[in-house]
């Protein structure tokens, strides 16, 4: 079965062809800007402009045409409405034109499923650290449950907000990582872990104040990374202790950060459990994960009933393909 995956929850428009065993292509184009952040209407325009070309490229790389597609999986939730709608419109149009079924996919679950697929792990816990989302997710009794999460903004949005104040452009995460490598001078910052959850809002205000007080960018970037990644690893470790899971996978664009990978791996090594980080192209938002998760679920929906849901939570989705 040939599945075309379409990703369109935020800044990335992606298309991927998956044959049930192999990812044959994984194309994407991500919105970037040097000033300001992500303005939904502008990002939606970007997806409209590049969507068809990305889908054609994905098919070409897979050596296929639209007629070879058996099923279309699209990211239906959660995400920003403007962008979700563009991917859904492409998916519905193809479904009607090709007369092939549609599968709605939850983006957060797709991050876990691509990690599970690539690692070969059967039952991993996911640390999902992306722009808008920060969650610790694992399977339990018919659903992917959220064992810990951010109480305010996602870690990537936090890094991008810090970067905007530092005039680093969007996305700022990779630039903060580079600056952090230039320092080992730790500046005390608020460490906000509340039970299984984390929060970044107070830290953001604190860092913005420090930027006005003349602290060096390199020192701040180093200290920010050490602080927020320690927070993530702590809640992840607590979730492992609670669930007894023996495998951890990483997901989300912030997962590209080498320091985060290193800290997470160290914690897993110390606990004697397995750790796997997908290649960067599968950590950031991508359509291969939508195709793979669609293949696992195979729960199709009629075009007339197809939906987008910007706020659907990971643990609201019933998972019928695992027991
Ligand atoms: P996603 O929403 O999963 O596509 O991830 C996008 C987020 O990942 C943005 O907030 C980026 O700033 C962040 N990001 C990308 N690369 C890195 C990196 N090397 N270190 C930290 N954050 C990163
Ligand atoms: Mg994501």
pLDDT, average across residues 174-186: 98
Whether residue 323 has pLDDT greater than 80: no
- Are domains 3-110+282-322 and 123-281 of this chain identical in fold? yes
CA of 24 to the centre of ligand 1 (A): 24
pLDDT, average across residues 198-208: 97
pLDDT, average across residues 136-152: 97
Residue in 81, 23, 13, 22 with CA at minimum distance from that of residue 52: 13
| pLDDT band for position 43 (cuts 50, 70, 90) | very high
Nearest ligand 1 atom to alpha carbon 177 = 20
CA of 185 to the centre of ligand 2 (A): 31
Class of domain 3-110+282-322: alpha beta
| pLDDT band for position 232 (cuts 50, 70, 90) | very high
Q: CATH for 123-281?
A: 3.30.420.40
CA of 284 to the centre of ligand 2 (A): 6
Domain ranges of the chain: 3-110+282-322, 123-281
Whether residue 35 has pLDDT greater than 80: no
How confident is the model at residue 94, as a pLDDT? 98
Which strand (E) or helix (H) includes residue 80? none
Nearest ligand 1 atom to alpha carbon 12 = 4
- The percent of residues in the chain predicted with pLDDT above 90, rounded, is 96
CA of 12 to the centre of ligand 2 (A): 9
Ligand 1 binding pocket (C-beta < 6 A) is: 10, 12, 130-131, 156, 159-160, 171-174, 177, 252-254, 256-257, 284-285
How confident is the model at residue 287, as a pLDDT? 98
| pLDDT band for position 88 (cuts 50, 70, 90) | very high
Dihedral sign, CA of 116, 110, 304, 4? negative
How do strand 125-129 and strand 247-251 relate by DSSP bridges? parallel
CA of 214 to the centre of ligand 2 (A): 34
By most ligand atoms within 8 Å of CB, the mutation choice from 127, 134, 253 for ligand 1 is 253
């Amino acid at each position: 079965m040939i599945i075309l995956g379409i990703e369109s929850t935020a800044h990335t428009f992606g298309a991927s062809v998956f044959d049930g065993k192999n990812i044959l292509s994984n194309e994407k184009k991500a919105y970037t800007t040097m000033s300001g952040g992500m303005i939904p209407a502008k990002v939606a325009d970007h997806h409209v402009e590049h969507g068809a070309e990305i889908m054609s490229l994905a098919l070409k790389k897979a050596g296929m045409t639209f007629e070879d597609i058996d099923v279309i999986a699209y990211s239906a939730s959660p995400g920003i409405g403007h962008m979700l709608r563009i991917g859904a419109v492409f998916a519905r149009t193809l479904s009607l034109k090709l007369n092939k079924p549609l599968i709605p996919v939850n983006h957060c679950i797709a991050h876990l499923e691509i990690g599970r697929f690539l690692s070969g792990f059967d039952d991993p816990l996911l640390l999902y650290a992306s722009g808008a989302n920060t969650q610790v997710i694992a399977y339990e009794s018919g659903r992917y449950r959220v064992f810990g999460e951010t109480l305010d903004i996602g870690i990537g949005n936090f890094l991008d907000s810090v970067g905007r104040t530092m005039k680093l452009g969007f996305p700022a995460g990779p630039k903060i990582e580079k600056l952090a490598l230039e320092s080992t001078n730790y500046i005390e910052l608020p460490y906000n872990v509340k039970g299984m959850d984390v929060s970044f809002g107070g830290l953001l205000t604190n860092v913005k104040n420090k930027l006005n007080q003349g602290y060096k960018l390199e020192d701040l970037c180093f200290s920010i990374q050490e602080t927020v990644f320690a927070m993530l690893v702590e809640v992840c470790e607590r979730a492992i202790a609670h669930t007894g899971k023996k495998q951890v996978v990483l997901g989300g664009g912030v997962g590209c950060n080498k320091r985060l990978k290193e800290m997470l791996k160290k914690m897993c090594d110390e606990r004697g459990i397995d750790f796997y980080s997908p290649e960067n192209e599968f950590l950031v938002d991508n359509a291969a994960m939508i195709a793979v998760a669609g293949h696992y679920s195979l729960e199709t929906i009629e075009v007339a009933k197809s939906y987008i849901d910007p706020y659907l939570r990971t643990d609201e989705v019933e998972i019928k393909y695992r027991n």
